[in-house]
Amino acid sequence: MEDHHRSVTLSPDSSAGQRADIELVEANALWVAAGPGIEVVHVWMKGVAGLIDLRVRITKAGSTVEAAIDRGEQNTKWWPPNAAPRLVIELDQASEMALAAASVGAANDDRTADLGRARY
């Protein structure tokens, strides 16, 4: 049996502590680990299963993580700029609680749903 496991390490600025590790572990899977100096990650899934391209932007600010979904460049926009569907997870270390919310829309027309909280 052949080993198809491939690993690539990118170090854009090792002096600043930025690093990203990428592993291609199987035919349809990608693992990306971002180091402490990386606060925004874009993952662009092109032509997945014949569907439209999707881009996912993951942003970390302190103890909050936001994932936003956008379309690929060949498609018309689904929503106005800065209005893409978002999932926000906030980790509260003091109470050991994780809070999650989903939202869509721009600042003046933002619709948000509280998804709940859980102890971690």
pLDDT digits (tens, 9 = 90+) for 4-24: 556 665 555 556 667 777 887
For the chain, the domains span 1-37, 39-119
Write out the two tokens for 10.
């990118």
pLDDT tens string 30-83: 888 887 778 888 888 877 667 777 888 899 998 999 999 877 665 566 667 678
- Tens of pLDDT along 96-120? 999 999 998 887 788 999 999 999 8
Local structure of 30: helix, strand or coil: strand
Distances (CA, A) of 110 to 13, 40, 81, 84, 120: 37, 22, 12, 10, 28
Helix (H, G, I), strand (E, B), or coil: what is residue 108?
Answer: helix
φ/ψ (deg, to 5) at 79: -150, 160
pTM above 0.95, yes or no: no
Q: Please give the backbone phi and psi of residue 38, each rounded to the nearest 5 degrees, phi first.
A: -110, 120
